[in-house]
A and B are shown apart, each in its own frame.
Chain A
Amino acid sequence: MALALIQMKFAVLRRDLSGPRATWVFSGAVAGLAMAASTIAMATVDAPDLGTVRDLLAVLFALWTLGWMLGPVATGQPVLRAEQFALQPIPRRRLALGLLGAGFVAVTAVVSLVAFAALLVFGLRLGTVPALVSVPALLLQLTLAVLLSRLMGRLFGALARSRVGAVLGAVLTATMLVVASSGWIVFSALDAVLRTGFSPVFSTVVRALPSGWGAVAVEASARQDWLMTGLPLAGLVLLPAVLWVAWNRSLGPARWSRPTVRGSSADRAAPRGRASLSPTGAVYAKELRTYARDPQRLQSLIVPPVFAVLSALVPLAFGSTVFLPFMGALTALMGAATCANLYGQDGTALWLTLQTPGSERADVRGRQLAWIVVFAPLSLLLTAAGIAVAGQPDLNPWALTATFALLGGGAGMVPLVGIAQLTPGPDPRAAKNAAADHSDVAGQAFSMLFLALTTAVPALCVTLAGHLLHNPSLLWAGVPVGVVTGWVAYAMLGQAAHRNLRKRGPELLFLMRTGKQQQQPKPGQAGASFSKTLPVHRQCLLWISFLAGCIALFPQALVPTLMKLSGHVEPLWFLALHMRPEWQWPTVFLMYTIGVLAFTVAARIAFIAIKAARAA
């Protein structure tokens, strides 16, 4: 039985690797392997005290394990789920074993195994015995990660059924995201760490976490400290055993039922106010009701502000208030990302829009309006609070400009990305008892982050110009420019979205019904996607250059520029700032050049492919 499940997972994997998702799987694997390689590299660094390398590995393993725990949030539930086998007379234990085994049959597991091999490299470096200790340790660490991931999936699934649970799940998700994305702070100060080691408290914490036990055992065996070798290894056997029991139990019948949300009574069903009388107002009222009633939507609403506030609080630990004024802008940006799949979440309900003459425009505008009404007060409030607390007046024009520009840009991009990159998932009613059973929206959310950010670039350039020229009126002119570009993005991207919806409505409905793109699009017609005409290696090149362009242009060029100009230099992982002073500006310009070149390559591939698709 367990074997059959593992074979099923292999079949799914084969399909993923040859199907339309192959590009995503492939680029994900490349990125993952790059990270795994750097993990192994960390096991080889020189430090006066080997304990530092051990701590470094413990930190990395903690981040990998956290990544596994966060997985289910981004990618939805695993392909094989216990519910699918509810009617089969399979003993629960065998089912648990099979589903767990299937969890190992994944690209992510292979990538993690490569990363965890850092422990073996570390062991080999220390001698024969540590190398022997490292093998069971790394396998147990991987088992631990997979088990934790599965259990988190069950937990998020259970939480997402109710609105209270959705809020809890949102806070949990945001916290884990912040911890995971703050991990790089450690590596920004790698030189200092290697010289002096971590602070005793930090070192104790990372070693105490189960993700660090393997590293502790390997290092202790080199010192022939058998107690500290045996204890963590025993822990690595015991903890997965306990989690295994919990995993077994979690597959049983649901312990509590989904709380029922009630709608309005007869006399309150019709939304009040003159605005709601228009078609756009009707959609707006429907959307607000959905935000209030649907646990999934509520989660999209809670994650952004919690993420923004926590992200701004982490630097406070180092005495930096620099992120505080940007909490509002970050909320708007994350709000766009969490709402990137609004159309996909509604499933096949799109048919009603298609069947109602001329309602596409109202549908898009109403959704935009609801998004703005939900996120604008939150963002503006957080920006105001951040500005008040931070007390860094020179950051205020930046923060205000970014907030206004991103609110407009987000409201414009939400329907456009939602329609253009719709990710089909289960229909809402099919998933009503398993709300976490959504589609894999990670790719869509990432492209939303990037696209929404680009809408803010023009306004921020004005602020930058004002800063460079020491011209306060130009500096502050960024704010009204942000309002204007925000408004333009709202209006124009919204228009592009409803035109797109009108043109491709039936194809989108087909995609949501079947989960497949419409076959054989007519030449020149929208829906003729170049992703089908482009060979896989060209697609990979396209995505890699796009990614390289993003990294070079934004964090490696734009951010160091801003830091150097503002005088707040924090080298972190910005290459230019690690160079000698006279080389810093040339490096920044090199990064601009690389970014522009990479984008040119990506655009060229895409352009040729679109032309080919049109001509086909």
Chain B
Amino acid sequence: MTVRITSAEGAPPPAGDNQHPAFELVALHKEFGGYAAVKRAHLRVRPGSFYGLVGPNGAGKTTLLSMAVGLQRPDEGRARVFGIDVWEEPERAKELMGVLPDGLAMPEQLTGRELLTYLGRLRGLDRDTVDARADELLAVLELTGDVERTLILDYSTGMRKKIGLATALLHGPRLLVLDEPFEAVDPVSAVVLKGILNRFVASGGSVVLSSHVMALVEQLCDTVAVMAKGQVVVEGPVAEVRGGKTLEETFVELVGHHTGGEKGLSWLSR
């Protein structure tokens, strides 16, 4: 079903880390009471790639990414991080990944710094490393000063995304998987987040993010996959996928035309 524009598919690559895709999802499938939320979806993310997963609401992006990082058990299929199976060797795979899920809770009664200290120690990092990294992350993400003593419970949505990104970066992962990292984030905070992600990719890391803001994906990503109705309908370099048009136009074409929004609602006109 997937239209591949690059020649990424083929024989399995030889051993050696950079030979493996940074992230590879093979035929991931999930049904909820007979409704297939994700239908045997494939994705392949090159090391060093900034990869965007776009799709309308309900396309199955969150379910796909949750299965891929080990938060939701798939019915079928595999997910590999640098060749390591997420469901067979979760501990090795999760060392390499940093994850930011959308809309999940945190230990709400901690401050940002307390959370990072807690997670650092939970991961077995030594005290000085944790303190130094927490300092740097909080400074870069502007979560110090007035908000130092604010509990995460009282964080705004933007601050939540920032502390979420900090938890994903804390252990120095090689792959970031971010579900809607820019959802409800103000433009100023968005600039900060984009800066961090661009630096991460520039230094050799790989990023996968999901979004339904096309402009953002066009601006940040080098590769894009479009998801609709549980399937990945197209995957490839941004320029090739959009092919002379804007990504938004291509997206609407791929996902299907809707004429809604022009007819009906007559009571709204005065």
User: Interface residues, chain A, CB within 8 Å of chain B?
Assistant: 260-266, 269-271, 276-279, 281-283, 285-286, 289-290, 293-294, 346-349, 351-352, 354-359, 362, 427-429, 432, 506-507, 509-510, 513, 518-520
Interface size on B, residues (CB 8 A): 46
Interface residue from A270, A278, A510 paired with B131 (Cβ < 8 Å): A270
B118 touching A282, Cβ below 8 Å: yes
Q: Apart from A270-B117, A352-B107, A357-B123, what are 19 other A-B pairs with CB-CB below 8 Å?
A: A260-B150, A262-B149, A263-B111, A265-B148, A269-B113, A269-B114, A269-B134, A270-B131, A276-B121, A282-B121, A285-B118, A348-B105, A351-B101, A355-B69, A357-B95, A362-B122, A509-B71, A518-B73, A520-B33
27 A–B pairs (Cβ distance < 8 Å), ordered by A: A260-B154, A261-B151, A263-B150, A264-B114, A269-B134, A276-B121, A277-B121, A278-B121, A279-B122, A279-B123, A283-B122, A286-B107, A286-B114, A290-B107, A346-B107, A348-B105, A351-B104, A352-B107, A352-B119, A355-B69, A357-B92, A357-B123, A359-B122, A362-B122, A506-B70, A507-B73, A519-B31
Bound CA–CA A265/B106 (angstroms): 19
Q: Judge whether B99 is part of the interface by a CB distance below 8 angstroms.
A: yes
Interface residue from B70, B91, B122, B151 paired with A282 (Cβ < 8 Å): B122
Bound CA–CA A5/B110 (angstroms): 39
| Residue among B90, B118, B119, B130 with max Cβ neighbours from chain A (10 Å) | B118
Bound CA–CA A289/B114 (angstroms): 10
Interface residue from A270, A289, A352 paired with B106 (Cβ < 8 Å): A352
Distance (whole angstroms) from the CB of B94 to the closest CB of chain A: 5
Bound CA–CA A352/B99 (angstroms): 9
| Residue among A270, A293, A355, A507 with max Cβ neighbours from chain B (10 Å) | A355
Q: Can you name the residue of chain B whose Cβ is closest to the Cβ of A359?
A: B122
Q: Judge whether B32 is part of the interface by a CB distance below 8 angstroms.
A: yes
Q: Among residues 74 to 110 in chain B, which have CB atoms less than 8 Å away from a CB atom of chain A?
A: 90-92, 94-95, 97, 99, 101, 103-110
Distance (whole angstroms) from the CB of B68 to the closest CB of chain A: 12
| Residue among B71, B97, B103, B150 with max Cβ neighbours from chain A (10 Å) | B71
Q: Which residues of A contact B94 (CB under 8 A)?
A: 355-357
B111 touching A429, Cβ below 8 Å: no
Distance (whole angstroms) from the CB of B176 to the closest CB of chain A: 12
Q: Judge whether B72 is part of the interface by a CB distance below 8 angstroms.
A: yes
B154 touching A352, Cβ below 8 Å: no
Distance (whole angstroms) from the CB of A503 to the closest CB of chain B: 11
Dominant SS at the B interface?
mixed
Q: Can you name the residue of chain B whose Cβ is closest to the Cβ of A292?
A: B109
A356 touching B117, Cβ below 8 Å: no
Distance (whole angstroms) from the CB of A601 to the closest CB of chain B: 33
B117 touching A429, Cβ below 8 Å: no
Q: Which residues of B contact A358 (CB under 8 A)?
A: 91
A277 touching B118, Cβ below 8 Å: no
Q: Among residues 142 to 171 in chain B, which have CB atoms less than 8 Å away from a CB atom of chain A?
A: 144, 148-151, 153-154, 167
A428 touching B73, Cβ below 8 Å: no
Interface residue from A262, A270, A428 paired with B150 (Cβ < 8 Å): A262
Q: Which residues of A contact B270 (CB under 8 A)?
A: none
B122 touching A266, Cβ below 8 Å: no
Answer whether A264 and B151 are a contact pair too, CB < 8 Å, given A348-B104, A354-B71. Answer: no
Bound CA–CA A262/B95 (angstroms): 32
Distance (whole angstroms) from the CB of B28 to the closest CB of chain A: 14
A432 touching B122, Cβ below 8 Å: no
Distance (whole angstroms) from the CB of A144 to the closest CB of chain B: 37
Q: Judge whether B12 is part of the interface by a CB distance below 8 angstroms.
A: no
Dominant SS at the A interface?
helix
Interface residue from A269, A282, A351, A357 paired with B71 (Cβ < 8 Å): A351
Q: Which residues of A contact B154 (CB under 8 A)?
A: 260, 432
Q: Judge whether B263 is part of the interface by a CB distance below 8 angstroms.
A: no
A290 touching B153, Cβ below 8 Å: no
Bound CA–CA A285/B117 (angstroms): 10
A263 touching B151, Cβ below 8 Å: yes
Distance (whole angstroms) from the CB of B185 to the closest CB of chain A: 17
Q: Can you name the residue of chain A whose Cβ is closest to the Cβ of B98?
A: A355
Q: Which residues of B contact A354 (CB under 8 A)?
A: 70-71
B150 touching A356, Cβ below 8 Å: no
Distance (whole angstroms) from the CB of A301 to the closest CB of chain B: 14
Bound CA–CA A269/B116 (angstroms): 9
Q: Which residues of A contact B127 (CB under 8 A)?
A: 270, 277
Bound CA–CA A286/B116 (angstroms): 11
Interface residue from A269, A349, A356, A357 paired with B104 (Cβ < 8 Å): A349
* Nearest 9 A/B pairs, CB to CB: A263-B111, A282-B121, A357-B91, A269-B113, A348-B104, A349-B105, A347-B105, A293-B109, A262-B149
Q: Can you name the residue of chain B whose Cβ is closest to the Cβ of A351?
A: B104
Distance (whole angstroms) from the CB of A498 to the closest CB of chain B: 14
A357 touching B90, Cβ below 8 Å: yes
Q: Can you name the residue of chain B whose Cβ is closest to the Cβ of A294?
A: B109
Q: Which residues of A contact B105 (CB under 8 A)?
A: 346-349, 427-429
Q: Can you name the residue of chain A whose Cβ is closest to the Cβ of B151?
A: A263
Q: Which residues of B contact A290 (CB under 8 A)?
A: 107, 109
Q: Which residues of B contact A506 (CB under 8 A)?
A: 70-73
Bound CA–CA A271/B131 (angstroms): 11
Q: Which residues of B contact A289 (CB under 8 A)?
A: 109-110, 114
Q: Can you name the residue of chain A whose Cβ is closest to the Cβ of B96?
A: A357
Interface residue from B72, B111, B150 paired with A269 (Cβ < 8 Å): B111
A349 touching B106, Cβ below 8 Å: yes
Bound CA–CA A286/B122 (angstroms): 11
Q: Can you name the residue of chain A whose Cβ is closest to the Cβ of B35?
A: A519
Answer whether A356 and B119 are a contact pair too, CB < 8 Å, given A263-B151, A429-B105. Answer: yes
Distance (whole angstroms) from the CB of A28 to the closest CB of chain B: 27
Q: Which residues of A contact B33 (CB under 8 A)?
A: 519-520
Distance (whole angstroms) from the CB of B124 to the closest CB of chain A: 6
Bound CA–CA A325/B107 (angstroms): 38
Question: How would residues 1 to 45 of chain B score, 1 for a CB under 8 Å from any chain A CB and 0 otherwise?
Answer: 000000000000000000000000000000111000000000000
Q: Which residues of A contact B167 (CB under 8 A)?
A: 352
Q: Which residues of B contact A264 (CB under 8 A)?
A: 111, 114, 149
| Residue among B33, B90, B105 with max Cβ neighbours from chain A (10 Å) | B105
Q: Which residues of A contact B114 (CB under 8 A)?
A: 263-264, 269, 286, 289
Distance (whole angstroms) from the CB of A481 to the closest CB of chain B: 35
Answer whether A355 and B99 are a contact pair too, CB < 8 Å, given A286-B118, A506-B73. Answer: yes
A428 touching B108, Cβ below 8 Å: yes
Distance (whole angstroms) from the CB of A574 to the closest CB of chain B: 45
A349 touching B108, Cβ below 8 Å: yes
Bound CA–CA A442/B187 (angstroms): 46
B153 touching A279, Cβ below 8 Å: no
Q: Which residues of B contact A283 (CB under 8 A)?
A: 118, 122
Answer whether A262 and B71 are a contact pair too, CB < 8 Å, given A347-B105, A429-B105. Answer: no
Distance (whole angstroms) from the CB of B215 to the closest CB of chain A: 29
Q: Which residues of A contact B151 (CB under 8 A)?
A: 260-263, 293
B71 touching A429, Cβ below 8 Å: no
Bound CA–CA A252/B145 (angstroms): 36
Bound CA–CA A283/B110 (angstroms): 12
Distance (whole angstroms) from the CB of B144 to the closest CB of chain A: 7
Q: Can you name the residue of chain A whose Cβ is closest to the Cβ of B117?
A: A270
Q: Can you name the residue of chain A whose Cβ is closest to the Cβ of B91?
A: A357
A356 touching B123, Cβ below 8 Å: yes
| Residue among A271, A285, A356, A427 with max Cβ neighbours from chain B (10 Å) | A356
Bound CA–CA A347/B104 (angstroms): 8
Bound CA–CA A279/B123 (angstroms): 7
Bound CA–CA A262/B150 (angstroms): 6
Q: Which residues of A contact B149 (CB under 8 A)?
A: 262-265
Q: Can you name the residue of chain A whose Cβ is closest to the Cβ of B69?
A: A355
Distance (whole angstroms) from the CB of A231 to the closest CB of chain B: 51
Q: Which residues of A contact B121 (CB under 8 A)?
A: 276-279, 281-282
Q: Which residues of B contact A294 (CB under 8 A)?
A: 108-109
B113 touching A286, Cβ below 8 Å: no
A286 touching B71, Cβ below 8 Å: no
Bound CA–CA A278/B149 (angstroms): 24
Bound CA–CA A235/B33 (angstroms): 54
